[in-house]
Structure 1
Amino acid sequence: MQKISIDGAKFYYMLMNASNKLEQEKEYVNSLNVFPVPDGDTGTNMSLTFKAAAQEISGMRNESISEIAKKFSRGALMGARGNSGVILSQIFRGFSKGLENLHYASSGDIANAIMEGANYAYKAVMRPTEGTILTVIREAGEFAIKCEEEEIDTLLEKVCNYAEEILNKTPDMLPALKEAKVVDAGGMGMLILLKGMLDVVKYDIVDELKDVVAREHKFEAQVTEGEQQFGYCTEFIILTDNYDLDTLKTQLSEIGDSIVAVGMDDFVKIHVHTLEPGKALNLGTSLGQLTKIKIENMSEQHKHTLDMEENKSSDVALDENIETKKYGFIAVARGEGLTNIFKDLNVDRVIEGGQTMNPSTQDLIDRIDEINAETIFILPNNKNIMMAAEQAVHLSEKNIIVVPSKTIPEGIAALSIFDENGSGEENLESMIETIENVSTGSVTYAVKDTESDGREIKADDILGIVNGKIEIIGNDNLKVCCDIIDEMVDDFSELITIYYGEDCNKEDVDKMVEELEDKYPDMDIESYEGKQPLYYFIVSVE
């Protein structure tokens, strides 16, 4: 039987099966990480991103290809985690563009969608690197356009075979891949997804998303007298490309305040505080379908806030009735001690995350919505969170500034020089200058056997990393920590700061600090209990 077109149901099952396949293979994709450290999370980030998108289309098998692709793209955009997840979300944003206004798709339409996916992905990356997922999807798209196969299963099979050939060549494009004897992890993830889509067309697989956690929609029936002081925090997304933001804001202002309305291609994200959430929802349904509905009783939030204040905790729900402050801060960190350090530096919200645990774009937007400030700074403190933070900027109406902090010490140093009296731009400039003067080191363990710069590394070896490069290989975390400090200190160094992890003994750390003080009598040496997992030590030299 010829398969020269697919309908919405077939496309739906293609996406569902692809998601399940990547979930099954994510640990294998993780294992392809070049660095042998416990933060190889490309497979996890891609799978979580794709699964978030698949959850968005759950039950939409009877819709058109165009509608499914649109909603899938939105789900990927909001659920994107890590740089690989953000790139993946852009690939499927391009897919959606290529399948626009289609009820059925031919092989030519699918080829065009793959090519559009590559185009969008390249636009999203400031300095594209060949030998990565970008190369795999671009080559796949160019091949698909030239292929001119009429049957979709034949097209996809040839595209998958060609993409695999390109993937196997990635070590020749990136020396780090060749040395580690692996292919690109993101490219492998993309190939798994393409093969998952192919299998549905080829074998008529009918598969739903596995292990889906049902989305919770919180509704309150009425506004009682005791609730009128605060009302309801109402959030939802309107699926429409026919809207006028100014008119929408004016209409919302008639029923509430604290209004945020953000438009993005074919949807609008709404946030409003109102005594009548039903009216806000009716306004939304007059423009299009609603999704991501969340209605919360702010009286309960306020009570929670008061309870938490009694416990001297800053993790409280937002009371928008407080005066808008000039600056707000969001930081990403993992470990109780590091979290407390950021809170002591006046950070409003600390998102638990970092290595192996990258927050999604939606996580960042949720925290942005909780802060009542004119300008909000985001400190990712991890290079793999930077793209999700930048994506959140485009999805928020608030004035957001992303500080390019790629490590915890960079984020702490940047906050320590913040000037409340300066402008946002002036502070960003000062923070960047400060970051450039911070050298970061870390001590962790190897998760696999590999090679680095011609040196053999065995699983469980202790690794000393300085500014992203493995400098020391040893078997004692304290000695490796001292060794990387020796590497980092120069004639201009003034301050050594050590953050020790949850697996470190305080007495041993104190003894090490004493030895360092004897070795570097002219330098200030500070140590803090970071309680971070995976990394015995995070060190900065300034």
Structure 2
Amino acid sequence: MNYLKIDGEHFYNMVVNASNRLEEQKEFVNSLNVFPVPDGDTGTNMSMTFKTAVCEIENINTKSIDEVSKKLARGALMGARGNSGVILSQIFRGISKGMENKKEVNSREFAISLKEGANFAYKAVMRPTEGTILTIIKAAGESAINNPNSDIVKLLEEVCNHCEAVLNKTPDMLPALKKAKVVDAGGMGLLILLKGMLEALQGNVITEIKKDIAKPNISENKQIIQSDIKFGYCTEFFILANNADIESFKKELEQYGDSMVVVAFEDIVKVHIHTNDPGLILSKALKLGELSKIKIDNMREQHRNLLNIEDETKQQEEEVVENVRKKYAFVSVSRGKGLDDIFKDLGVDCVIEGGQTMNPSTQDILKSIEKLNADNIFILPNNKNIIMSASQASELADKNVVVIPSKTIPQGITALTVFDFNSDLDENIKNMNEAIGMVSTGAVTYAVKDTETDGKVIKQGDILGLIEGKIQEIGKDVFNVCSDMIEKMVNEHSELITLYYGEDCKSEDVEKFVKELEEKYSDLDIQYYEGKQPLYYFIVSVE
């Protein structure tokens, strides 16, 4: 069937069909991710982003392509997950710009809208990389603009054919793709969408959104665990100290409580501990230096109150808290009960569940921002694939929001430890950004597929040690790989090694491993915490 023009109804069926096709093939797109680690989520992020977009237009009652495309673009913007999702949202934001003020578009106007999609996508990325989804949308735009066909079906057929040919060349543009023997995952996701749009026109398809797919796999742990509280007072404060013996101080405190976090940065020491004698803890801390920002909470009282409050009353109390304006507030992304607790103990107001394989959307982050009543709100993405969504949320918020570009959990934790409520905004931003640059991060996980990278042959199930996201160690034993990885991370300037162990590690095995590390690195401070994170046996930082 020929289409000299398409209106909002046609466009609706095109994008809904495209969304359904991407959902069906998202695991194939995920499999194209270069790294064999269990965070190949490009297909999932793109599918969930676009699913949110099409749900936004589900009940729209108009044939205006301007209105449909504009609402679709807003849905994609709010639902954007991960870098691929953010770029995809910008592509359809540009397409909407090309269809602005039009009830229907002809082939030339449709071509211009694809070109606008490419323009918007490239503007969204600070350092565009060719061989990615950007290359494919640029190919789509250029092919469409140079195509003389007045029939949109024929135009889109040639656009898809050209994009597929360019996609097959992406391994020649990016060495990492060539080594992994795959094409770019984001580019493939976009091609699937374009083909889905074409399919709807070719078959004059009337489609509907499939409801049983692409549901976010983000669980909210609302259960309150009732247990005896051994140490009743949550005590936290800063010590202004020079050349303090932090290791001896930690050992001295251990007998007086649990859930202890003691982190030093230059002349500031952050202390958090659950204890039954806050006064004793403070008196010991005074020997090291001046105390600042002391905060003590009675957890038994809080727990009793929590158990006796009905949901409606809790909501009312939360609203009261939100009405008490603060100078600073924090939003952090984390995955793992132990890691969540650490962030909360360090003063984070909202912890969003997310990370590898589970990137929160722009809307998820925006909702957390909207909950907070503060002059300045900091966002800690703690994952390089969430930074763009966080930045997009900050632009949409009507509050002063600062994104600290933390790429790892340890970077986020370190950024919080150097934050000073008594300093001004610019000084805190400077200190936090400097602090994350001083953290070296490692992670131990497993391979989800056979592959080869940098001359290393990797088999599915191998244990992998990553330093700053790059595979440095391959083995069969978690602890051996972690030990070898740490050895590469430590240098003559290193002072502190911190390990966060995951849900698949046994505490007794970790304790034995830490003792071995203490013997090997007797001149370094070594800390370890139960992060309970999935997928990663260890997250390690060296400072």
Name the TM tier (shorter chain). Answer: 0.7 to 0.9
* 1:202 CA drift (Å): 0.8
Q: 1:523 to 1:180 in 2, by over 3 A?
A: same
Contact in 1 for aligned 2:115/2:138 (Cα 8 Å): yes
Matched, 1:130 2:134: no
Q: Determine the structure 2 residue equivalent to 1:362.
A: 363
* 2:352 alignment partner, SS class: strand
Matches within 5 A, 1:103-502: 103-211=103-211, 307=306, 317-319=318-320, 322-502=323-503
> TM-score, normalization: structure 1?
0.81
Deviations 1:466-499 (A, max 9, x none): 0111000000011111110001000110000000
Counterpart amino acid of 2:103?
H
Counterpart amino acid of 1:106?
N
Contact in 2 for aligned 1:332/1:351 (Cα 8 Å): yes
Q: 1:11 to 1:509 in 2, by over 3 A?
A: same
Contact in 2 for aligned 1:305/1:317 (Cα 8 Å): no
* 1:320 CA drift (Å): 5.3
Contact in 1 for aligned 2:380/2:412 (Cα 8 Å): yes
Distance 1:451 1:213 in 2: 33
Distance 2:536 2:178 in 1: 26
* 1:533 CA drift (Å): 0.1
Counterpart amino acid of 2:513?
M
Contact in 1 for aligned 2:48/2:214 (Cα 8 Å): no
* 1:59 CA drift (Å): 2.5
Q: Determine the structure 1 residue equivalent to 2:299.
A: none
Deviations 1:471-529 (A, max 9, x none): 00000011111110001000110000000000001111000000000001000000000
Distance 1:412 1:58 in 2: 41
RMSD over aligned Cα atoms: 2.0
Q: Determine the structure 2 residue equivalent to 1:33.
A: 33
Distance 2:429 2:539 in 1: 24
* 1:309 CA drift (Å): 9.2
* 1:9 CA drift (Å): 1.2
Distance 2:385 2:92 in 1: 20
Q: 1:166 to 1:418 in 2, by over 3 A?
A: same
Counterpart amino acid of 1:500?
Y
Q: 1:317 to 1:162 in 2, by over 3 A?
A: farther
* 1:351 CA drift (Å): 0.3
Give the share of equivalent positions with the same residue, in percent: 62
Q: Determine the structure 2 residue equivalent to 1:60.
A: 60
> TM-score, normalization: structure 2?
0.81
Contact in 2 for aligned 1:12/1:61 (Cα 8 Å): no
Q: Determine the structure 2 residue equivalent to 1:42.
A: 42
* 2:34 alignment partner, SS class: coil
* 1:143 CA drift (Å): 1.0
Contact in 1 for aligned 2:322/2:371 (Cα 8 Å): no
Distance 1:321 1:491 in 2: 46
Contact in 1 for aligned 2:322/2:373 (Cα 8 Å): no
* 1:2 CA drift (Å): 3.0
Q: Determine the structure 1 residue equivalent to 2:256.
A: none
Q: Determine the structure 2 residue equivalent to 1:507.
A: 508
Counterpart amino acid of 1:377?
F
Contact in 2 for aligned 1:12/1:60 (Cα 8 Å): no
Deviations 1:251-310 (A, max 9, x none): xxxxxxxxxxxxxxxxxxxxxxxxxxxxxxxxxxxxxxxxxxxxxxxxxxxxx9974797
Q: 1:56 to 1:474 in 2, by over 3 A?
A: same
Distance 2:322 2:368 in 1: 17
5+ long unaligned stretches in structure 2: 216-302
* 2:40 alignment partner, SS class: coil
Q: 1:161 to 1:214 in 2, by over 3 A?
A: closer
* 1:318 CA drift (Å): 3.8
Q: Determine the structure 2 residue equivalent to 1:300.
A: none
